[in-house]
Amino acid sequence: MKSYDLTISQKRAVRTDPSCHGWCYGLPPGISSAQWPLDPANGYPLQHGFTLLLPEEYRCHGPDVVAFSFFASSIDHNDGGPTVKAPGIRPAMGGAEAPDNPELKLFWEAEQRAHPRLSRMEDGLGIAYAVIMLTRAEFDGPFCAPPILIANRYRDALEPPAWLTIGGAASYWQFGSSYRWVRDTFGEKPANDPIENRAIHWTPRACDPNAGRIPYDKFLHDPTDYVHPECAITEEDGKTVFHDPEWTRDHKPNHIGGTMRPSQWVTQVSIYYIEFEEYFGGFNFGGGNAQLDFQNMIFDWSCG
């Protein structure tokens, strides 16, 4: 088993290129607009963060399921918690029966059309996330346009997210272009276009003793054979300096499996997980990073 580093190109994904293993921002592939997951806080479509083709040994849902698309509440609807102005939508979407109210019934009906491999998650602040596992045909399929929005007094109480008009890439640039890591991600201002994306490429890590091992937190979980990347501490010019182990030197912050470098605690996940930063799709993790176990559909993040 290997772990894999993930890099983001400053160019759009060329889907016919064998080195293209997915993309950040832009649109998901192979699903229908009717299957696009909605945000239970407000009824708007969740923002597509990234679509990732998995290496063969990480296809834990069977050989026919080769990739996934990850969705989240839009960054302009997430300021330390969802901006909720439509309290009837969440219970309507999760209800066993259709509501009598026709405007709320639309959200219930949308959830009945959900993709058969849709999984929903929510963080401790009530922010919504979703994963759709994809077959090869779906991964190679056409980009999906967001659903057409019909006027609705519940959803329309909140301004629509910017990405619906200008795309996730331009929306994230608009939110954080003053940050170096945002500028480094794009290279230049991305086009105002919902299809605008950035290609993802994965490569095996040359040295990672934790490939195929379950991470654990020393203070929270039972120990496994996982090797913690202990830092050496020295005093240099009156300052405390932390030195990462040599074997972690070339590890990228975005990766599939292997050694986890969380901003705070180690999330309890299986070996089938991805760790990613805010710019890997345009999220608000308080300057931190996130972990997604795509086998058990466990998601968590922590502030930087």
Using alpha carbons, list the distances in angstroms from residue 262 to 117, 122, 147, 229, 291: 28, 19, 35, 11, 8
Say what the pLDDT of residue 79 is: 77
Report the share of the chain in percent with pLDDT over 90. 82
Dihedral Cα 52, 55, 59, 63, nearest 10 deg: 110
In the prediction, which pLDDT does 85 show? 65
Dist. CA 199–CA 181, nearest whole Å = 16
pLDDT digits (tens, 9 = 90+) for 113-171: 999 999 999 998 889 999 999 999 999 999 999 999 999 999 998 899 999 999 999 99
pLDDT of 241 higher than 80: no
Q: What is the pLDDT of residues 75-106, one digit of tens each?
A: 988 876 666 567 899 999 999 999 999 999 99
Per-residue pLDDT tens over the stretch 13-45: 999 999 999 999 999 999 999 999 999 999 999
Q: How far apart are CA 142 and CA 138, in angstroms?
A: 8
The token pair at 238 is 């009156």
pLDDT for 46 equals 98
pLDDT tens, position by position, 165-210 = 999 999 999 988 888 889 989 999 999 999 999 999 999 999 999 9
Q: What is the C-alpha end-to-end distance of the chain, expressed in Å? A: 30
Query: Residues 191, 170: contact at Cβ < 8 Å?
Result: yes
3-state secondary structure of 289: strand
Q: What is the pLDDT of residue 24?
A: 98
**Res 225: pLDDT:** 93
52 band by pLDDT with thresholds 50, 70 and 90: very high
Mean pLDDT computed over every residue of the chain: 93
Question: Which pTM was predicted?
Answer: 0.94
Contacts of 233 (CB under 8 A, 6+ apart): 240, 241, 242, 243
Name the token pair of 143: 């980009």
* Beta-carbon contacts of residue 286 (< 8 Å; ≥ 6 apart): 80, 302, 303, 304
Q: Which residues pair with 38 in a beta bridge?
A: 45
Q: How far is CA 44 from CA 86, 91, 252, in A?
A: 11, 15, 33
d(CA 215, CA 268): 7
| Average of per-residue pLDDT across 211-233 | 89
